[in-house]
Amino acid sequence: MKRKKIALWAGALSIAVLFSGCEAIQEAWEEAMDPDAEITDNPNSTEYRRKYVIHVNSIVRHPSRSGELEREIPTLDGGTVWINTNQLFSSKNIQDARVVSRPGDPDLFDLQFLVDRFGKLQWQMLTGNFGSEQVALVVDGVYFASFYPEPQMDGAGDWVTLRVGLNAVTARGIARNAKKNYINLNPDVMHWF
């Protein structure tokens, strides 16, 4: 009888947690139940599945739909956006990431990226060429936000800031997976053989 009560309470608690509306708990549950989830935590492994991979692309205002350089991608709200498929910046050059809360709006978060040498050059070109127009932040092939790329501030070292206003789950997912994605996208030659 006592075991039945414990099992009933555990089941009720599981259902309450699953449907409570907390995005972080729901994300953890979905990752645990996803059979295609990352197989290993070792980013050097060939079995590692990258998650929260970001790309920054230019937005195409008037798509010609004639070339392979322009592609329509989904947005979070079910719409679509046209982007130029040539990446301006990506996870390949992000060594680490951190989440920065927005002053006055605790539900939105910006990102800061520690970039490698090539990433720093890419960021400088991005801010020089697109500083006055919005570019698209694409996460795992889905459009998340548009933002104006800002030049690095003096004394910032190799950190760049994206003022994108993401939700907590997405921002933390990007930050949590940045190092692993960087290692997987830039394999060490010692692991080739």
Q: What is the largest CA-CA distance in the chain?
A: 70
The model's pTM: 0.72
Pairing of strands 80-84, 70-74: antiparallel
Cα–Cα dist 161/111, whole Å: 6
Pairing of strands 70-74, 54-58: unpaired
Q: What is the CA radius of gyration of the chain?
A: 20
SS (H, E, C) 28-52: HHHHHHCCCCCCCCCCCCCCCCCCC
- Residue 193 token pair: 């053989």
pLDDT score at 166: 94
- Residue 156 token pair: 């910032």
Note down pLDDT in tens along the chain; length 193 residues.
Answer: 566 656 555 555 555 555 545 555 555 555 554 544 444 555 555 567 899 999 999 999 888 866 778 999 999 999 999 999 999 999 999 999 999 999 889 899 999 999 999 999 999 999 999 989 999 999 999 999 999 999 876 666 789 999 999 999 999 999 999 999 999 998 877 655 5
Alpha helices in the chain (DSSP H): 2-18, 23-33, 117-130, 168-185
What is the CA angle 51-179-139, rounded to 5?
35
pLDDT score at 63: 82
